[in-house]
Structure 1
Amino acid sequence: MDPLDFRLINEFQRNFPLDPAPFAGIARCLDTGEETVLTALRRLHAAGIVSRVGAVFAPRRLGASTLAAMIVPARRLEEIAASISARPEVNHNYEREHRYNLWFVVNARDETQLAGVLAAIERDTGCRVISLPLEHEFYIDLGFDLAGARKVPHAGRRIEATDLHTLTAAEHRLMGVLQHGIELVPQPFARLGAQAGMDEQAVIATLEHWRRDGLLKRFGIVVRHHELGYTANAMVVWDLPDAEANRAGSLLAAAPEVTLCYKRRRHLPQWPYNLFCMIHGRDRNVVERAVEDLRRRLDLERYPHAVLFSRLRFKQRGARYVAGATTHE
C-alpha cells in the first residue's frame, strides 16, 4: 500500500467531510487532487480493500437484529451457508472453529420479522438456530486503525427498546439509497438527493442530525480486514456473572488489541457465554498471544472462555434497512 492509500483509508474511516464536495476536501488534506482521491478509492474498492464509503449505523437503533449460530454438518456447510447468504436480511455470514460452526447476523424491520426469518432458516435447513441479541455495547466503533495504536473514545451503552429511531418518509427514502454506500463521484450528496427526492443540503443536514443523535456510528470509508492482511480473525467469548461482565467489558473495550466488545443474551443450555470481543491479527499466533495476555492482565483466567477463529467468509456487507435500492458495494 502506498502512502496515499494508507492515509486515505486510515484517516477517513470517520470524520468524513459532510459537504457538497467531500473528496475535494479530502484531497486538500492529503495535498493531492480530487480525481487522484477518487481514482484511488475506486481502485481500492475494486480490490476489495474498501467495502464502501458511507454510513455505519448504531446497532439496534433501526429495526431488530441478532447474531445467530448453527451446528451444520460439514458435508452440508457450503449448501446451507449459500442459502443463508442469499437472504437479504443477512449481512455477515462466517464459518468459525467450534461445534457451532456457522455464524451470521440478521437485520429486520422489527422483532416479528426477525423471528420469522430465523424460523424460516430453521425450517429450510433443518438445523436449530440459537439467537444471541445484543444487550450492551462496550466498544462497537467498526473502524480499523492501520497504525494499531489509536482507539477512538467510546462510551458503552445498554441497549434499550426506547433506543429505536423511527424514520420519517424522507429519511426512509434517503436510507434506501444510502445504505449501499455513496457513489464515488465529485458530488455524491447531490447524487443521493436526486435519487431520494431531496436537495443536496437536506441530505447533508439529515446526515448531520443522525450523527448528533448517535444513529450514525460513523460516516466514512469502510474497509475489509482480511484484504488488508489481518487474516486471523477470532471471536473470543466468556461466561461471566452479569455484574462482572460489565466490569470486564469496559476493560476489554479499552484494550488496543480488541476491535469489538459487547454483551449478548445467553442461549441456555446450548450457549452459556455472554461477553464477546473480536481480535484481528496478521497471523494466528499473534491473536492467541493477545487472548492469553488479556486473560491474565484483566483477571479473566478463572472464567470459562472459548476462542472461535474464522475459517471461511461467506458474506460481508453493510446491513440493509430498506429494501429495493440499487447497490454500489
Structure 2
Amino acid sequence: MHAAVRPAIDGDLRLLNDWQHGFPLCRDPFGVLADATGRSRNAVLHALRQAQSDGRISRIGGVFAHGSGGDAMLAAMAVPENRIDEVAAMVSAHPGVNHNYLREHRQNLWFVMTGIDRAAVDGGVTALEAATGLRALRLRMVRPYRIDLGFDLRGDTATQPMGALTNRNAQMAPLDPSLWPLAQRVEAGLPLVERPYALWATELGWSEDEVTECIGAWLAEGRLKRFGVVVRHHDLGFAANAMTVFDVPDSAVDAAGEALAAQAGVTLAYRRERAEGWPFNLYAMVHGTHRQAVMDVVERMTAAAKLGDCPREVLFSTRRFKQTGGRRFRGWIEPDAAACLAEERDHAVA
C-alpha cells in the first residue's frame, strides 16, 4: 500500500526527518542543511518547496507550548452520516479551525479551534454549533504530557521519541504581546528563501540576530517545544492513526499520562476536561503505516500504563478534511461568524 510513498521519503529522509528539531538559527540555515546532506543550497530549497507543495510538510516553523499565548480547544460533533460532507466543509471553512478529522465513533467529527484568546475560541465553536445545528463536545486541555515533539519517520510507527517530554509542573507565562509579531511568523512558517530570518527581520524592524536569538531563547525556556520541519504524516505513508481515550480516576491520571508519554510509538499524550456524555479524561495518539501497527502500540501502551481496567475507546481516523498550523497568535477576523456560516450552510443544502 505504501510502496509508492516510501521512496519519496527515503530520498529526502534527512531533510524531512532529521530537521524536525534543531533547525539552524543562523544567517544561512539552508546552507547548513546543504552541507549536512551533501546537496547544494538551491537543491535543498527546491526539495523543501516541493515537499510543501505536494503536502509532505506543512511548514518549517514552531510548535508553541500550552499556555504560551492565544488559546485552542479540541471539539467533537456527532454528525449524521448523510451530513458528514456538508458539516465537515463548514467546519473546515472556519478560519480558526486547524485540524478536522472524521473518526470511527458516534462522536465522529473531531476538530481543533484556535484563536487569540478563550473568547475567540469559545465563540468560534458556538458559531459552528449555530450554523450546523449540532452540539459540540468542548474538551479543553488540562495538562500536556507529550505535545507535538515530532516523530521518527523510519519504521511502521513512531518508534523513537523525539525531543524531551513535557515537564508537567512547568508554568508558562503568556507571551508578551510585543513579541506576537514574531510569534505569528513562527506559527505561520519560515519563508523558503536563502535568508529567511533576514526577511522576517526586515518586516519586524529588527536585526537578523535579534530574530534568531529570540527564537533560541523561546526554545531554551520551553516556550517553543520545537522549531523545525512540521510533517504531514499521512502524506508520508503514516496513513493510520488512532486517538485512544481513557476514563481514569483523577487521582491516578497524571501518573498514567506520564507513563503513556514515555512509551515508544506514542506521539501525543494529554489530559482533557470531561464533558457531559463523555467521561474520558486521558488521551494518547499513535500514528503508523497501517492499522495493526497502531493497535500493537495501543495495546502495549495500555498495559505499560496499567490502564487495562479503565474504560477505553480507540478512535481511528478515516478522513482528513483539514490540517494546517494553528492561529493562536495570528488570530482571525470574522465579524459575524454565525451568520457567515449559516449562509454557507444554506448554500450547501440548496
Query: Would you say same fold, with TM above 0.5?
Result: yes
Q: Supply the AA of the counterpart residue of 2:160.
A: R
Q: Supply the AA of the counterpart residue of 2:180.
A: H
Partner SS for 1:88: coil
Conserved in 1, the CA contact under 8 Å of 2:152 and 2:162? no
Match of residue 223, structure 1, among 228, 231, 246: 231
1:236 positional shift: 0.4
In the TM superposition, what whole-angstrom CA distance separates every residue of 1:69-90 from its partner, at most 9, and x where no partner exists? 1111111111111111111111
In the TM superposition, what whole-angstrom CA distance separates every residue of 1:274-304 from its partner, at most 9, and x where no partner exists? 0000011111122122222333343221111
1:26 positional shift: 1.4
1:271 match: 278
Structure 2 residue 139 is matched with structure 1 residue 129: no
Unaligned segments of structure 2, at least 5 residues:
1-7, 334-350
In the TM superposition, what whole-angstrom CA distance separates every residue of 1:115-158 from its partner, at most 9, and x where no partner exists? 22221111111101111111111111331211344223534344
Q: Supply the AA of the counterpart residue of 2:45.
A: L
Q: 1:95-174 maps to which residues of 2 (within 5 A)? A: 95-147=102-154, 148-158=158-168, 163-169=172-178, 171-174=179-182
Change (3 A) 1:224 1:180: same
Partner SS for 2:151: coil
Q: 1:54-93 maps to which residues of 2 (within 5 A)? A: 54-93=61-100
Conserved in 2, the CA contact under 8 Å of 1:134 and 1:159? no
Counterpart-to-counterpart distance in 1, 2:190 and 2:332: 16
Match of residue 193, structure 1, among 192, 196, 201: 201
Counterpart-to-counterpart distance in 2, 1:156 and 1:173: 26
Conserved in 2, the CA contact under 8 Å of 1:63 and 1:164? no
Structure 2 residue 19 is matched with structure 1 residue 12: yes
Change (3 A) 1:2 1:216: closer
Q: Supply the AA of the counterpart residue of 2:114.
A: N
Counterpart-to-counterpart distance in 2, 1:282 and 1:9: 17
Unaligned segments of structure 1, at least 5 residues:
none
Q: So what's the TM-score if we normalise by structure 2?
A: 0.87
1:232 match: 240
Conserved in 2, the CA contact under 8 Å of 1:177 and 1:196? no
In the TM superposition, what whole-angstrom CA distance separates every residue of 1:16-61 from its partner, at most 9, and x where no partner exists? 0100110101111223221121111112112211111111111232
1:174 positional shift: 2.1
Counterpart-to-counterpart distance in 2, 1:249 and 1:43: 37
Q: So what's the TM-score if we normalise by structure 1?
A: 0.92
Conserved in 1, the CA contact under 8 Å of 2:260 and 2:304? no
Q: Supply the AA of the counterpart residue of 1:112.
A: A
How well do the aligned residues superpose, as a CA RMSD in angstroms? 1.9
1:319 positional shift: 0.5
Counterpart-to-counterpart distance in 1, 2:167 and 2:304: 24
Conserved in 2, the CA contact under 8 Å of 1:137 and 1:159? no
Counterpart-to-counterpart distance in 2, 1:299 and 1:183: 45
Q: Supply the AA of the counterpart residue of 1:178.
A: V
Residue identity over aligned pairs, in percent, reads: 41
Counterpart-to-counterpart distance in 1, 2:53 and 2:169: 36
Deviates more, 1:114-123 or 1:249-258: 114-123
Counterpart-to-counterpart distance in 2, 1:77 and 1:4: 37
In the TM superposition, what whole-angstrom CA distance separates every residue of 1:191-216 from its partner, at most 9, and x where no partner exists? 11222332212211221222123221
Partner SS for 2:101: strand
Change (3 A) 1:4 1:167: farther
Number of residue pairs aligned between Structure 1 and Structure 2: 322
Partner SS for 2:188: coil
Counterpart-to-counterpart distance in 1, 2:209 and 2:32: 17
Conserved in 2, the CA contact under 8 Å of 1:136 and 1:157? no
1:323 positional shift: 4.0
Counterpart-to-counterpart distance in 2, 1:82 and 1:2: 30
Change (3 A) 1:4 1:285: closer
Counterpart-to-counterpart distance in 2, 1:153 and 1:185: 27
Conserved in 2, the CA contact under 8 Å of 1:178 and 1:192? no
Partner SS for 2:27: coil
